[in-house]
Amino acid sequence: MKKIRFLFALVVLAVLLTNCTNKSDEYIDPRGTDYAGSESCIQCHQTQYESAFHSSHFKASAPATKENILGHFTNGKNTFVYDKDTKLVMEERNDSLYQVVYKNGKEVKAYPFEILFGTKHAQTSAYWKNHFTYELPVSYYKSINSWATSPGYSATIPNFEREIDKECFACHSSNIASRYVTTSSDSITFMTMEVEEFMNKKTMLYGIDCERCHGPAKKHVQTHLKFPDLKIAQDIVAFKNLNRQQKIDACALCHSGNAKMKLKSRFKFRPGEKLTDYFMERSGTPDTVNYDVHGNQMGLLSQSKCFKKSPTMDCMSCHNPHQDASQNLGSYSKICMSCHQQTKHKAATVKTLSKTMLANNCVECHMPKQDSKAIYFQQSNKAPITSYSLRTHKIGIYPAVKK
């Protein structure tokens, strides 16, 4: 009887181990056979995975389901008015979501929500047509808890023909494939260029997943499932092993704007590589002073004295990439005070601000919210233009904000 129980236990263990291994081995990733898929990470990194799964990185893009969309679809909250005859209504039809244009009360055209971009501050959407994606003209903004024009769109004329460039996907998704061609002469390859004749929706991986930041993980998963007692991570990029510039480059890939000339697709970047191999400065005199608060967090941070004087400061000095930025601004003050314990405010500042503000809210004064010059929106053709505000990453001294 004991022998039978022992054999049964061995069979169960073998099945469990087989299932665990096959989860990675049987997975086919559109990026290639050296990828394991983010779900394979949960087997050993459950805490990090579950945290990242709810982050803005992971939700940088998502399928347009009712669970993922931010905006309202109920009467009174789902209509954008262009003029007295024209309106756009957000509607749910047979478990699908649409932006529907009505002219004089009659439906003119309806376009589906198919891809969602963003979740933290705002969310814009797109639909597919002939292997291209097009942005819908109305987006949702958390700052006003309402629908308004998508960035750069008219508040008087509905437009559904603005194509979304593949570079948008390169920072909002982990993969989407198009055609490539290699230009060469005399057997010397100069550059690999993308031919964006189409994008294959079947190859899209939504959001910024684990392997986008840590590199292909198939071999890593196989090694650690085979040798579970290994204490040092094998065959994977661990950020603690990267130098400062490598860490910065990994973040700057998508947080340093689009002003530079692209040499290679962002999708090809692997953590640990040099960003200068992917982008180069354009000729002429680029504006390196007035970075927009929306597009170039790395450029703004690099202008800060804190960054210039510290040999170790990088993005992860303040941010955990597996989590969204904390809404508790006081938590950042502790990071600031780790270097600025002896800092004394000027007498005028002390008179203007309360002691609580000075002690617990460094960010509000030294990284204030600023209006983006690139993004703004309107709620209707009669509403004034509304600014899209974000916290600047240029740490500095700004006029005191009265509280």
In which region does residue 117 sit, left (phi positive, over 0), alpha (psi from -120 to 50) or beta (all else)? Answer: beta
Evaluate if residue 285 carries a pLDDT over 80.
Answer: no
Instruction: Specify the pLDDT at position 25.
Output: 67
Q: What is the pTM of this model?
A: 0.86
Instruction: Specify the pLDDT at position 349.
Output: 77
Dump pLDDT digits (tens) for 67-118.
999 999 988 899 999 999 999 999 999 989 999 999 999 999 999 999 999 9
Q: How confident is the model at residue 283 (pLDDT cuts 50, 70, 90)?
A: confident
- Highest-pLDDT range among 79-83, 165-169, 355-359: 79-83
Q: Average pLDDT in the 382-393 region?
A: 91
Best CA proximity match to 385, nearest among 371, 368, 364: 371
- The per-residue pLDDT of the chain, averaged, comes to 87
Dump pLDDT digits (tens) for 261-274.
899 999 999 999 99
Of residues 383 and 8, the one with the higher pLDDT is 383
Instruction: Specify the pLDDT at position 18.
Output: 46
Dump pLDDT digits (tens) for 28-80.
899 999 999 999 999 999 999 999 999 999 999 999 999 999 999 988 899 99
Evaluate if residue 247 carries a pLDDT over 70.
Answer: yes
Q: How confident is the model at residue 188 (pLDDT cuts 50, 70, 90)?
A: very low
Instruction: Specify the pLDDT at position 22.
Output: 45
Q: How confident is the model at residue 361 (pLDDT cuts 50, 70, 90)?
A: confident
CB 166 within 8 A of CB 143: no
Sign of CA dihedral 389, 393, 396, 400: positive
Instruction: Specify the pLDDT at position 126.
Output: 98
Best CA proximity match to 357, nearest among 390, 315, 401, 319: 401
Q: How confident is the model at residue 13 (pLDDT cuts 50, 70, 90)?
A: very low
Looking at residue 20, the DSSP 8-state letter turns out to be: H
CB 270 within 8 A of CB 253: no
Q: What are phi and psi of 124, to 5 degrees?
A: -110, 165
Instruction: Specify the pLDDT at position 19.
Output: 46
Please calculate the CA angle 218-222-224 and round it to the nearest 5 degrees: 120
Instruction: Specify the pLDDT at position 338.
Output: 86
How many residues does the structure list for the chain? 403
Cβ-count burial 177-188 (b if 16+ within 10 Å, e if not): bbeeeeeeeeee
CA distances from 21 to 15, 108, 177, 300 (A): 10, 53, 28, 45
Give the DSSP letter string of 213-226: HH---HHHHHHHHH
| Residue 287, both tokens | 């504006």
Q: How confident is the model at residue 195 (pLDDT cuts 50, 70, 90)?
A: low
Evaluate if residue 320 carries a pLDDT over 80.
Answer: yes
Instruction: Specify the pLDDT at position 270.
Output: 95
Please calculate the CA angle 34-35-41 and round it to the nearest 5 degrees: 135
Please report, to the nearest 10 degrees, the dihedral formed by the alpha carbons of residues 152, 158, 161, 163 taken in order. Answer: 30
CB atoms within 10 A of CB 382: 10
Q: How far apart are the first and last CA of the chain?
A: 77
Please calculate the CA angle 78-80-81 and round it to the nearest 5 degrees: 140
Tokens 């054999």 correspond to: 7
Residue 283 buriedness (CB in 10 A; 0-12 / 13-18 / 19+): exposed
Question: Of 42-46, 102-106, 281-285, 394-398, which range is least confident?
Answer: 281-285
Best CA proximity match to 271, nearest among 243, 246, 244: 246
Best CA proximity match to 31, nearest among 170, 182, 227, 225: 170
Dump pLDDT digits (tens) for 201-216.
999 999 999 999 999 9
% of the chain at pLDDT higher than 70: 87
Evaluate if residue 185 carries a pLDDT over 70.
Answer: no
